[in-house]
């Protein structure tokens, strides 16, 4: 039995032709994503159907308002480029004219045109990919620098406020509702040993910008033919933030050859050539607007955001897996372990990373 009546959802959007099927798609941790296929007379046409996770995003309408503004702004920016309609997500309007549809049980659905001829990767394969991804995310920040007022809505308040993330971890350790703290003693100790880094970027008085905030490697689609970072996706957390949150998450997800949930920790490492490609790719599009202080903290941001996501995984493990989707017992603890291993690897190479950035 299908979990959702996709045919009924499809009817609520401005899509012509006959709905054929919808299958789960991608490996995101938050929303439910499906690839929906339609017969429109010629070759099959695909769309992305997404059910927004309203446990995570408690104000889905404010979120959709952001996405509408951001995608419309970006569409104007890329209009003159070749293949313009593959360079930005395009929302398919609902029959009501809204950007979403709320079904009878309260689920909120949105539909995007499927970006064909490109794909996202869960693990980086070579420095060229790292360069392409970072260049695209830098370009994304640049194109949104002149988004007209008002500010975007905060879809998750304090999303990258690391000290508050740390406080949430301490609360979870204290409450220990799933009786798991005993299973994560080394990780809890690791987190506590690193507490001092939490506030560094907040104390540095860096400029607030419009940032993506979830720049993991699989949130940019790379063109199958050219390898270019053709389209930045997953716009739920686009909101005011620090440019370094985005660069930090790129370091987290685009320098190690291992997947985020790899159990063999010997495979987890910060590979210097990937970092170099990432820094060069990002600066190829972002150097013109970055302040010197932001540039200086590029390597540190990688350590901080890797640590931050590590403590979020640990917190969710302790809380009983209520936030991130999991696919096996201990999944969030496995994810936490890769993050902390990567923090250590970055620490060992931080001086070299700093020296490199000074030369770019």
Report the alpha-carbon distance of residue 30 to residue 14 in Å, rounded: 25
Helix or strand (DSSP H, E) at 20: strand 18-24
Helix or strand (DSSP H, E) at 246: helix 243-254
Residue 25, contacted partner among ligand GN1, Mg ion, ligand ADP, none, CB below 5-8 A by kind: ligand ADP
Question: Which residue, among 141, 110, 88, 117, has the nearest Cα to 289 in the 3D structure?
Answer: 141
Q: Is 241 in the site for ligand GN1 (CB under 6 A)?
A: no
Between the alpha carbon of residue 37 and those of residues 5, 47, 65, 88, 211, the distances in Å are: 14, 6, 26, 20, 32
* Residue reference for tokens 């299908």: 2
CB of 277 to ligand ADP, least distance (A): 21
Instruction: Rule CB under 6 A: choose which of 15, 22, 29, 130 binds ligand GN1.
Output: 29
CB of 36 to ligand ADP, least distance (A): 11
Q: Is 234 in the site for Mg ion (CB under 5 A)?
A: yes
Residue 115, contacted partner among Mg ion, ligand ADP, ligand GN1, none, CB below 5-8 A by kind: ligand ADP
CA 33 to chain centre: 14
Q: Is the peptide bond before 7 cis (omega within 30 degrees of 0)?
A: no
122, 217 Cβ separation under 8 angstroms? yes
CB of 34 to ligand ADP, least distance (A): 9
Q: Shortest Cβ contact with ligand GN1: which residue?
A: 29
Q: Is 30 in the site for ligand ADP (CB under 6 A)?
A: yes
Q: Is 222 in the site for ligand ADP (CB under 6 A)?
A: no
Stretch that binds ligand ADP, among 27-35, 63-71, 312-320, 342-350 (CB under 6 A): 27-35
Pairing of strands 220-223, 108-113: unpaired
Question: Which residue, among 332, 300, 299, 335, has the nearest Cα to 317 in the 3D structure?
Answer: 332
Report the alpha-carbon distance of residue 94 to residue 110 in Å, rounded: 8
Question: Which residue, among 159, 350, 160, has the nearest Cα to 251 in the 3D structure?
Answer: 350
Both tokens assigned to 75:
């569409």
Both tokens assigned to 278:
């990432």
CB of 254 to ligand GN1, least distance (A): 12
CB of 252 to ligand GN1, least distance (A): 8
Instruction: Rule CB under 6 A: choose which of 237, 255, 332, 338 binds ligand GN1.
Output: 237
Quote the longest CA-to-CA distance of the chain: 61
CB of 216 to Mg ion, least distance (A): 7
Q: Is 219 in the site for ligand GN1 (CB under 6 A)?
A: yes
Q: Is 234 in the site for ligand GN1 (CB under 6 A)?
A: yes
Residue 237, contacted partner among Mg ion, ligand ADP, ligand GN1, none, CB below 5-8 A by kind: ligand GN1
Report the alpha-carbon distance of residue 145 to residue 262 in Å, rounded: 36
Give the per-residue contact string, 43-72, with ligand ADP (x = CB under 6 A; - = no). Answer: -----x------------------------
Between the alpha carbon of residue 5 and those of residues 1, 8, 169, the distances in Å are: 10, 5, 38
Report the alpha-carbon distance of residue 67 to residue 236 in Å, rounded: 7
Q: Is the peptide bond before 236 cis (omega within 30 degrees of 0)?
A: no
Stretch that binds ligand GN1, among 7-15, 24-32, 68-76, 340-348 (CB under 6 A): 24-32
Instruction: Rule CB under 6 A: choose which of 22, 30, 45, 64 binds ligand GN1.
Output: 30
Closer CB to ligand ADP, 124 or 283, in the complex: 124
Instruction: Rule CB under 6 A: choose which of 45, 48, 56, 91 binds ligand GN1.
Output: 56
Stretch that binds ligand GN1, among 22-30, 35-43, 85-93, 140-148 (CB under 6 A): 22-30
Report the alpha-carbon distance of residue 279 to residue 270 in Å, rounded: 13
Closer CB to ligand GN1, 56 or 169, in the complex: 56
Binding site for ligand GN1 (CB under 6 A): 28-30, 56, 214, 216, 219, 234, 236-237, 260, 309
Binding site for ligand ADP (CB under 6 A): 25-26, 28-31, 33, 48, 89, 112, 114-115, 120, 218-219, 233-234, 236
């Amino acid at each position: 039995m299908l979990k959702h009546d996709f045919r009924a959802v499809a009817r609520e959007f401005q899509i012509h032709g006959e709905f054929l099927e919808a299958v789960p798609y991608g490996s995101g941790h938050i929303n439910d994503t499906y690839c929906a296929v339609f017969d429109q007379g010629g070759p099959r046409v695909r769309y992305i159907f997404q059910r927004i996770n309203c446990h995570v995003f408690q104000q889905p309408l404010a979120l959709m308002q952001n996405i509408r503004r951001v995608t419309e702004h970006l569409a104007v920016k890329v209009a003159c480029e070749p293949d313009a309609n593959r360079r930005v997500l395009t929302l398919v309007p609902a029959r009501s004219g809204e950007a979403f549809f709320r079904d009878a049980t309260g689920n909120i659905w949105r539909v995007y045109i499927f970006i064909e001829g490109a794909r996202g990767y869960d693990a980086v394969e070579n420095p060229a990919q790292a360069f392409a991804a970072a260049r695209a995310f830098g370009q994304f920040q640049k194109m949104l620098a002149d988004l007209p007022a008002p500010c975007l809505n905060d879809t998750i308040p304090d999303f990258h406020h690391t000290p508050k993330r740390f406080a949430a971890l301490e609360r979870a350790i204290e409450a220990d509702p799933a009786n798991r703290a005993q299973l994560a003693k080394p990780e809890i100790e690791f987190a506590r040993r690193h507490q001092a880094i939490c506030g560094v970027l907040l104390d540095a008085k860096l400029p607030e910008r419009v940032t993506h905030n979830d720049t993991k490697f699989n949130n940019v689609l790379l063109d199958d033919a050219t390898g270019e970072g053709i389209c930045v996706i997953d716009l739920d957390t686009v909101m005011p933030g620090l440019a370094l949150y985005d660069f930090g998450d790129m370091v987290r997800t685009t320098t190690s050859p291992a997947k985020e949930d790899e159990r063999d920790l010997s495979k987890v490492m910060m590979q210097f050539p990937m970092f170099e490609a990432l820094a060069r790719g990002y600066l190829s599009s972002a150097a013109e607007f970055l302040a010197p202080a932001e540039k200086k903290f590029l390597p540190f941001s990688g350590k901080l955001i890797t640590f931050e996501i590590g403590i979020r995984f640990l917190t969710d493990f302790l809380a009983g897996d209520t936030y991130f989707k999991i696919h096996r017992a201990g999944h969030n603890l496995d994810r936490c372990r890769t993050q902390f291993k990567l923090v250590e690897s970055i620490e060992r190479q931080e001086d070299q990373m700093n020296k490199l950035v000074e030369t770019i």
